């Protein structure tokens, strides 16, 4: 399946751009929610948030007496927190989420000041000119890196830049879209693509006659241990859940026959990972739905990784849960590539599932 040059819904591309560009390290997701609110029609969706900054989107056509299907996409991105300030004005950092050190060094980042201003900085380490020969061939660990914002003292960090320990840090990256290839480039596709999919699905369901109620959630702090989803699942109390993710693409890694996350080959359905074995009956229902609607998809069986599904499926008495993922090259790094067609097919798939699913189907799961 190849990508179309333009999106079927031009506003979805702007939605992705705005969400991708928003800065939201784990625990600091407010800017992402503010961006999302600009795309929500209060006549069709009622919203609220909690102290963890989980963001709830209730379809106004929900009746309150039907099974609830929860749609989840986590709003945080991998980032850092300022741990301390050196006397020379360098900022020591602690990772928030899983980073490979080789993707961090020399990258441009943004650090939030006490006043809310985002300060540009560079991730730095000892220059090669001052390294011993043994150091030049060794990887630099994140704990040995610093962020340089151009200060010359700790006093400047406090008095001029207004940066204190505990400040969030995210990569600085500009969103771009290649209309010839249909491929997007930007940051935080894990998992702003999932957030965009939640909003886009709810938008498409405005006039749909469903047999279930639907509640969307932007869950917080997924990258810090699937935390927000634990609270969100207890609040929503769904009978089934669909988790949207931005998953690592493997289209040029390892054995070609084993690849399960190839750009422009459709979204993935994840059968298993470290956090969850997906409900096999719900998985089969979803695959049949895609086949009935001639939607491309890929099957993913992962020995590592995890999603909000890991928390949601263990909520209450157990929630039948599936994970639909958009393949993204270079997740958990400052930039990533993703195909717009894969995103649109993920939304197509979820929409088709929700229009087909009946209470008795959920009972059978």
How would residue 11 be classed by pLDDT, with cut points 50, 70 and 90?
A: confident
Superfamily for the 10-77+187-364 domain: Zn peptidases (3.40.630.10)
Picking from 77, 80, 59, the residue whose alpha carbon sits closest to that of residue 220 is 77
Q: So what's the pLDDT on residue 320?
A: 98
Architecture of domain 79-171: Beta Barrel (2.40)
The answer to whether the peptide bond before residue 191 is cis (omega within 30 degrees of 0) is: yes
Picking from 155, 77, 141, 86, the residue whose alpha carbon sits closest to that of residue 110 is 77
Report the C-alpha gap between 168 and 358 in whole angstroms: 43
Catalytic residues: 222
Q: So what's the pLDDT on residue 4?
A: 42
Report the C-alpha gap between 36 and 365 in whole angstroms: 32
First to last CA, the chain: 30
Specify the higher pLDDT residue, 157 or 138. 157
- Taking the domains of the chain in order of start, what are their residue ranges? 10-77+187-364, 79-171
Q: Are 33 and 18 in contact (CB under 8 A)?
A: no
321-343 confidence digits (pLDDT tens): 999 999 999 999 999 999 999 99
197-253 confidence digits (pLDDT tens): 999 999 999 999 999 999 999 999 999 999 999 999 999 999 999 999 999 999 987
Q: So what's the pLDDT on residue 231?
A: 98
Picking from 30, 120, 28, the residue whose alpha carbon sits closest to that of residue 79 is 28
Work out the percent of the chain whose per-residue pLDDT is above 90.
90
Q: So what's the pLDDT on residue 253?
A: 79
How would residue 169 be classed by pLDDT, with cut points 50, 70 and 90?
A: very high
Q: What is each CA distance from 139 to 90, 265, 331, 335, in whole angstroms?
A: 20, 35, 20, 21
Report the C-alpha gap between 193 and 172 in whole angstroms: 18
């Amino acid at each position: 399946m190849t990508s179309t040059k333009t999106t079927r819904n031009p506003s979805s591309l702007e939605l992705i751009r705005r969400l991708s560009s928003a800065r939201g390290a784990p625990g600091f997701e407010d800017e992402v929610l503010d961006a999302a609110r600009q795309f929500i029609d209060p006549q069709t969706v009622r919203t609220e948030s909690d102290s963890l900054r989980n963001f709830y989107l209730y379809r106004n056509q929900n009746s309150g007496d039907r099974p609830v299907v929860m749609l989840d996409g986590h709003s945080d991105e991998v980032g850092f927190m300022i741990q301390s300030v050196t006397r020379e004005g360098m900022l020591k950092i602690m990772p928030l989420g899983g980073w490979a050190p080789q993707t961090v060094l020399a990258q441009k980042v943004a650090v939030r000041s006490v006043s809310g201003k985002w300060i540009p900085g560079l991730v730095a380490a000892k220059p090669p000119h001052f390294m011993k020969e043994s150091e030049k061939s060794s990887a630099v660990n994140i704990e040995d890196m610093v962020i340089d914002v151009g200060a010359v003292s700790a006093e400047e960090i406090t008095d001029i830049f207004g940066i204190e320990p505990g400040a969030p840090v995210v990569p600085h990256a500009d969103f771009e879209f290649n209309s010839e290839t249909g491929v997007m480039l930007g940051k935080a596709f894990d998992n702003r693509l999932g957030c965009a999919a939640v909003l886009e699905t709810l938008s498409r369901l405005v006039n749909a006659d469903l047999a279930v109620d639907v509640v969307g959630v932007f869950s917080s702090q997924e990258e810090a241990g699937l935390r927000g989803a634990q609270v969100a699942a207890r609040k929503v109390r769904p009978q089934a859940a669909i988790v949207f993710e931005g998953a690592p693409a493997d289209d040029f890694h390892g054995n070609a026959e084993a690849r399960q996350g190839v750009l422009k080959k459709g979204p993935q359905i994840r059968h298993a990972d470290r956090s969850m074995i997906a409900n096999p009956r719900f998985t089969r229902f979803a695959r049949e739905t895609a086949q009935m609607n001639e939607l491309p998809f890929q099957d993913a069986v992962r020995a590592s990784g995890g999603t909000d599904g890991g928390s949601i499926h263990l909520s209450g008495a157990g929630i039948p849960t599936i994970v639909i993922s958009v393949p993204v090259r270079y997740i958990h790094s400052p930039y990533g590539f993703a195909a717009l067609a894969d995103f649109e097919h993920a939304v197509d798939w979820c929409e088709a599932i929700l229009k087909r699913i009946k209470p008795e189907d959920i009972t059978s799961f």
